[in-house]
Structure 1
């Protein structure tokens, strides 16, 4: 009698649970901590596939990728694939990842905006082909912060204007934020650097400037976003104007 009673309760409870699962959860629900993610520090991901299973999309395996959305992508930021996971036996998959702050994608594009893509692959039945694999994706917004650099603190990031001030020292072209930090450390009097892309555009607005190199400007004093008043738009010899992107500032705090 007890066994039959439990079956009856289960049969009544299942539809109610299914109704509580939103269609948006059919490929999984994801939380992660901390958020924002700090490069170089562990990040714990918790993926729940309870609703995916209830709705008939139980995953066979899952893939996780960091992607710069097309609207924010300058054309160089490739997806960062960081995990493939087998389907969890209990419906929840918990794992930890530490993103290397020295990875070239993070150093070359220090202030790129990302999304996490959770791609869940499940088995589906097809009248024509029998069982087949189907993949569905879910996007999750995320903020990624640079790790504190040795002796430097970030004062602003991801601006479309560069620092302009009377305590300017000099500038150079570099490949990474670390290169600009080294330049500031080795130049007497430098306590702040502003690093950004300074693109030259042709009359049609297409970028054809200095490729992936960054402009590294050095200053004597600390600056904030309020000092970023050089927003480009300077006439170029080709008839276009320059455009500033991904501008960030670092202050030597010790």
Structure 2
């Protein structure tokens, strides 16, 4: 089960001195490499922290460009060993013969939800969430503040554990283009967020300019957040078994090979990166990861 306090999907890869072929490839083990753990590197925490300060993985519903209920995008590797990037797990793990990231999660029953924060009073300008692990959004009927419809939507979205429900005004696509004809936005996330992350106040020009008329700016009202009461543990990736966790700390151990930042908490994606990592200078292959 992913930690609720996580900021980023962080994959730390470790080397096994006794295995050249990763277990996810289901190959036979090679002969033992006689290397002491004292001679292998440990987790490069300084580089991880420095990279964390450079990566921005926060986003929200892009109603100005994306239609409601768009497919969830693939997991993106936003940094690899301290270098910023913007590519898919499949592209990064091109050496791997294992299946690509599928972001599988265990099936769950209809979830119960708890309100994390409430929206401001009707008519008072509010803000929507800009947060990590944004999945997709829909619009729900806006004749009432339709909380149940938004929570039902989260139940249908893979990995959804949190929704941000709000009205968005003066958005031309919501008002006139998208067939749903609703401005009550329900944004789904696989991370749980809080009111301090309500930072999108709108303020964009969405309507076309007509002559010298003033173009109205977008604004947000009644932005609330709802979190699932229970989460499900992801399935073990092919060739891997859960060793421990989840815990509130990360590994700091010998055999370290490198790290990646992922756009989602994606166990399959982390396994694919491990499988495609290749050998280290002493001949070991990746056989363990900490996410």
| TM-score class normalised by the smaller sequence | 0.3 to 0.5
Whichever structure has more strand as a proportion of its residues is: 1
User: Which of these two proteins has the greater Rg computed from alpha carbons?
Assistant: 1
Give the TM-score, by structure 1 length. Answer: 0.37
Of structures 1 and 2, the one scoring higher in RCO (CA 8 A, sep 6+) is 2
